[in-house]
Amino acid sequence: MAKSDSDSESERPDGLIARGHHDMGGLPAGRVEPSEHDYAEWERRVDALMVLLSGVKGGAPRLTVDELRKNIEAIGPEAYEKMGYYERWVTSITQTMIQRGIVTTDELGRKMEQVRARQDVACKK
Amino acid sequence: MQEIAGTGQYPTRHPSVPTQFAPGDRVRVRATAPLGHIRTPFYIRGHVGMIERYCGAYPNPEELAQMRDGLPAQPLYRVRFLQSDVWPDYAGRPEDTIDIEIFQHWLERLDEGMVA
């Protein structure tokens, strides 16, 4: 697809980029190669986490799709390109839970330490 | 402000800002780039299209993304653009169109006699 003529506005005087990195509609790109693949167990879990937090299965919604999108779009361009679909999701879900105060940064850091220690023990067995 | 009753396909029961446009109205998409979560694609900003239909009023996603309620709801329209207007080197048929759903606060009325 051709470039839109509004691309000339993509740089702003304040140095911020007008076009969000994710907002790539119309930019030159290669062919879309459709392919099927199985989901890893952690990807299924991230999907389930999203469904449960959104409240569609009942319970208070703790995340909107708009917050999910905002925090996916806030991922830096380089990381955005490297991350897989569900890696972006879990990054965004985590950010949203911190912003909402459902978990604190400190709680998250301590839990990550615990999980890492558990994995280290499991690996040594 | 007006209350819009549920319409079946697009149930909306939120206090909503009044609709400003009707099918057939010519509108221009605002060419702005604020920070935050935005549903109006970058490539369509600044372009002129025609209101195809009113889709209902929904809490503003830009506000929902910031953990606010997004009320009063914003009217959402399906807006039709000519592909050849949007893409300068469009190689398809001249009558080809693209429809994009855009919230009212991103649209401004194109005055009569204004050149598109």
CATH code, B66: 2.30.30.50
Residue B102, in any domain of the structure: yes
Does B37 touch chain A if contact means CB atoms closer than 8 Å? Answer: yes
CATH number 2.30.110.10 is the correct assignment for the domain at A40-101: no
- Token match 């649209």: residue? B107
Nearest to A26 among B43, B46, B61 (CB): B43
Closest-approach residue (CA) in chain B for A7: B43
- For residue A66, the chain B residue with the least C-alpha distance is B65
Distance from CA of A124 to the nearest CA of B (A): 43
What's the predicted TM-score (pTM) here? Answer: 0.83
Structural domain total, chain B = 1
**Tokens, residue B5:** 């009753």
* Per-residue model confidence (pLDDT) at position B12: 58
Q: What is the pLDDT of residues B77-114, one digit of tens each?
A: 999 999 999 999 999 999 999 999 999 999 999 976 55
- CB A26, CB B83: distance < 8 Å: no
Domain span at residue B65?
Answer: 13-109
Q: Which secondary structure element, helix H or strand E, spans residue A1, and what is its range?
A: none
Could you tell me the CA-to-CA distances from B99 to A1, A35, B25 in Å, in that order?
16, 27, 14
Q: Does B71 touch chain A (CB under 8 A)?
A: no
Sort A123 into a burial class: Cβ within 10 Å, 0-12 / 13-18 / 19+: exposed
